[in-house]
Chain A
């Protein structure tokens, strides 16, 4: 039994290490405390609401969020805007609907059931407006990058002047966390760029953290439920395992072999 457990845990450690080390590129990412990590990790509601503000005022001019609907903004486990607030947010966007009975497309204010309005008609239009580079959809962006939240958080603060000897083409910027260090997106954040309604000081660091938290939620909207359910499920399994262990000992005590 002891040997068995020892070998099993070795195998699991071996499994997990090379896979997680994929993600770690050569550069050290900036670290910060994420409230959603850990067994009981939850989102910081304030950070999610501020993060939404940064997304919608800054990122959304180029980056779409096509898998989210305005209703998500008021759902449990998310930014938890009130339904009134979510409705008001939705209504502030113009949505193309139709065709109506005359066969015409028309514009109306957004509703809760609408998907987030896209900044561009299609990928080609997005590329044309951004020097050929497509600003990726942000719905699952955090999960689509090896470094996850740490990578996004660092990238937003990684803009600096290129080191001597590196020349950049027109419309290309230097970012020490970007793969290959060259990025088409210009530095999106600067201190005081947005005005937080809760009075938080909008430093680049603060905005990076808020918007990254928001992106974690858009990628994993059920993260809080998952953590809560996980704890209960594992606790239940552990208790059941202990009970079954003693039943097993009892049953096997009838034969003179150890289990």
Chain B
């Protein structure tokens, strides 16, 4: 950014910009040179920003009508659904928005895995991203507790009880988290407070995430360093802005379909039963986006080790830039990695599926194998693959394969067929 010289044309603008260089920032954001070969998997950063803002705006509105009290929370949600003007719309956007947020973040993460966006010099962007993801999970979990339905209550009980696995101090920590000897009103009020706080922490981290991105610039499908600005880049505005808008609109169509036509399909029916500490639901399942980790937790017979496995499954991602020893970023030029990548995707989907099923018989066996493979992928396959794999030759620039090079076959073929 330091090499960016910008002088506002108007006198007032110059006066202001000398004191607070907001106009320089705006100019940087519009001119920001972006690789021109970014595909649609790169539009999810913008989509995620939209998701965050939507959650904050609808959440603020809901908070004006919601009552964080064990005796009134459920009723206040029904009040929102029935009597608040368009309360049903705001709540359904917020509830489904959480699912859409996770759908987008998973695509965003797996895009990064495919194209090696986490590798040098982008490790800090990646690690900030993992912290955002962790905070998202915390916010979503606490948000699910707020309606104070059966799944809220028992989900909160199960998850907070995980801390009791910590030796010696575990029980004390759980009592401290609950604010009493069971999940009750003090738990609800503190969860509400934290659920309100976390999105703003995420917002701050998103600013850092984007700032860190703007230092090296975007990775791209070819995965090579791009000279900027050059023939390989386009200015962010209008090229990327219009493309992100188009992708966002398509995403909004899917989003709207859930909100207006199947608003409850991603939730659990039991959460429309008011919380009852005396009645345990037949199956306690978390929301879909937490299911893979839930499966990992349950696949380990020991409680403490299960918790450790679950946490490691997330934290291992933070070490990814160093676990992946390959110097080549994009999977396009890593034929073996590409196959292992898709196996990992299948593995995580399988974990999600068995996470929704009862932990017994075949399901448990599958969960154990899938859990083992998950760790195998990151701890063994990736480090070894980087050293052993025979990679394809990478092009020197983004324009090269398009203008007749052979390396990026897919792009070259596309181009050919469109010329004919």
A residues contacting B by CB (< 8 A) are 1, 4, 8, 11-12, 14-16, 18-20, 22-23, 39, 67, 72, 136, 139-140, 143-146, 148, 179, 219-222, 226-227, 229-231, 233-234, 237-238, 240-241, 244-245, 247-248, 251-252, 255-259
Contacts and interface: CB of A to CB of B under 8 A. Distances in A.
B269 A146 contact: yes
Given A145-B269, A258-B414, A240 B249 contact: yes
Interface string B376-414: 000000000000000000000000001000000000001
B305 interface: no
Nearest to A9: B254
Interface of B: 36-37, 39-41, 75, 78-79, 81-82, 88-89, 92, 103, 107, 234, 238-239, 242-243, 245-246, 249-250, 252-254, 256-257, 259-261, 263-266, 268-270, 272-273, 282, 288, 349, 352-353, 356, 402, 414-415, 418
Nearest to B233: A255
B266 A227 contact: no
A39 B257 CA distance: 10
A15 B260 CA distance: 17
A67 B78 contact: yes
Contacts of A23: 269
A90 to B, nearest CB: 17
A241 B247 CA distance: 9
Contacts of B266: 15, 19
Contacts of B234: 255, 257
Nearest to B353: A18
B253 A22 contact: no
B78 A244 contact: no
B269 A143 contact: yes
A179 B92 CA distance: 29
Given A19-B265, A19-B266, A233-B260, A4 B272 contact: no
Contact of A39 (B88, B243, B261, B414): B261
B356 A143 contact: no
Given A20-B265, A229-B89, 18 more contacts: A4-B39, A11-B103, A19-B265, A22-B268, A72-B82, A136-B273, A140-B78, A143-B269, A219-B272, A226-B89, A227-B260, A233-B256, A234-B253, A234-B256, A237-B252, A248-B243, A252-B243, A257-B36
Contacts of B253: 234, 237-238, 241
B256 to A, nearest CB: 5
Given A67-B78, A143-B264, A257-B37, A237 B256 contact: yes
A231 B41 CA distance: 28
Contact of A18 (B79, B259, B282, B356): B356
B260 A244 contact: no
A244 B246 contact: yes
Contacts of A241: 246, 249-250, 253
Contact of A226 (B39, B239, B260): B260
B181 to A, nearest CB: 23
Interface centre among A18, A72, A148, A231, by most chain B C-beta atoms within 10 angstroms, is A18
A255 B40 contact: no
Nearest to B87: A222
Contacts of A244: 242, 245-246, 249
Contacts of B270: 144
25 contacts: A1-B40, A8-B107, A15-B288, A18-B353, A23-B269, A72-B82, A143-B272, A144-B269, A144-B273, A148-B269, A222-B88, A229-B89, A230-B256, A231-B260, A234-B256, A234-B260, A244-B245, A244-B249, A245-B246, A247-B242, A248-B243, A251-B239, A252-B243, A256-B402, A257-B234
Given A144-B269, A241-B249, A22 B356 contact: yes
Contacts of A148: 269
Contacts of A179: 282
Nearest to A17: B353
A4 B37 contact: no
Contacts of A8: 107
B411 to A, nearest CB: 9
A14 B349 contact: yes
Contacts of A247: 242
A252 B234 CA distance: 10
A88 to B, nearest CB: 23
A234 B89 contact: no
Task: Give the interface centre of B36, B249, B265, B418 by most chain A CB atoms within 10 Å.
Answer: B249
Contacts of B269: 23, 143-146, 148
A58 B116 CA distance: 64
Nearest to B92: A226
Nearest to A21: B356
A233 B255 CA distance: 11
Given A4-B40, A15-B288, A233-B256, A251 B265 contact: no
Contacts of B239: 251-252, 255
Nearest to A39: B261
